[in-house]
Structure 1
Amino acid sequence: MVPKYFLLIAALLWTGIVAYFCLVQSSDLPTVNIPNLDKCIHAFFHFVFTFLWFLFFYKQLKSDSIFRPLLISFLFSFVFGAGIEILQGIITTTRSADVLDAVANLVGAAMSVFTVVICYKNNVLNIVLKN
């Protein structure tokens, strides 16, 4: 069984990593010419973001169902991603807000929800989710 404080630390750490890489000057990051790589990175960031926050909320709420923690973590991912996109347009000089990035964020979060549901139905998450 994983303690909920560990899950909170993991989720907060990942949130900080995502915020940093989304708000750091893009000139400070290595350049790779792979079409739409940034969209894949956004989806990956929010897949992990949603999954980690789901684990924390599930433990914190001591829920009998995965629905509420999944909904909260999905909505949190959406709001966080939208906030980051807005901040990119306001406070950075080398980045801009992009609707397609927000769509990629949602795709990653939705894939995470789908993965959690499949894992839950197949009892894969039992070790972590035990209350």
Structure 2
Amino acid sequence: MAIAVACLVSVNEVPKVTVFGKDKTIHFFFYFVFTLLWFLFLTKELPKWSFGQKAFFILGSSFLYGGIIEIGQELFTASRKADVYDVIANVSGSLVGILVLLFMTKSAKNSASKK
């Protein structure tokens, strides 16, 4: 929900900060965190799902959610426009989140098997 609010708020209401690529970095970070939170939730609520099932669901969700937000910006705000590069940044953040989770999961399994 916070992502939707942040993406749909008028840019006139947000303080101006001039940093190259900050918009895409923010998208990347939001969806990186989105991925980690989704993974924790799915692990708790659907423990029988494999890592791959969770990853596929999360990546699909991030693409769909990000796409809907971009369409909403284009259709329902006067000061924001849809940007395919935002969707790419979103999915990239989710992909990196999945890779971090994969690394952490494999590391945890390796540590457990050595004991």
Give the TM-score of the pair, scaled to structure 1: 0.79
Instruction: Give per-residue Cα distances to partners, 1:65-85, cap 9 Å, x unaligned.
Output: 311112111111111001000
Between the aligned partners of 2:93 and 2:48, the Cα distance in structure 1 is: 24
Between the aligned partners of 2:2 and 2:47, the Cα distance in structure 1 is: 27
Where do 5+ consecutive residues of structure 1 fail to align? 1-15, 125-131
Equivalent residue, structure 2, for 1:78: 63
Question: Which of 102, 109, 113 is matched with 2:94 structurally?
Answer: 109
Give the TM-score of the pair, scaled to structure 2: 0.90
Instruction: Give per-residue Cα distances to partners, 1:29-59, cap 9 Å, x unaligned.
Output: 1111111100000000100111111111122
Between the aligned partners of 2:35 and 2:66, the Cα distance in structure 1 is: 11
SS of corresponding position for 1:34: coil
Question: Which of 15, 22, 29 is matched with 2:7 structurally?
Answer: 22
Structure 1 position 120 matched with structure 2 position 98: no
Structure 1 position 45 matched with structure 2 position 30: yes
Q: How many pairs align?
A: 109
AA aligned opposite 2:50: S
Q: 1:65 to 1:108 in 2, by over 3 A?
A: same
Runs of 4+ in 1 over 6 A off after TM superposition: none
Structure 1 position 88 matched with structure 2 position 70: no
- Give the % identical residues: 38
Equivalent residue, structure 1, for 2:113: none
Between the aligned partners of 2:49 and 2:86, the Cα distance in structure 1 is: 34
Between the aligned partners of 1:70 and 1:51, the Cα distance in structure 2 is: 10
Q: 1:107 to 1:64 in 2, by over 3 A?
A: closer
Between the aligned partners of 1:35 and 1:120, the Cα distance in structure 2 is: 34
RMSD: 1.3
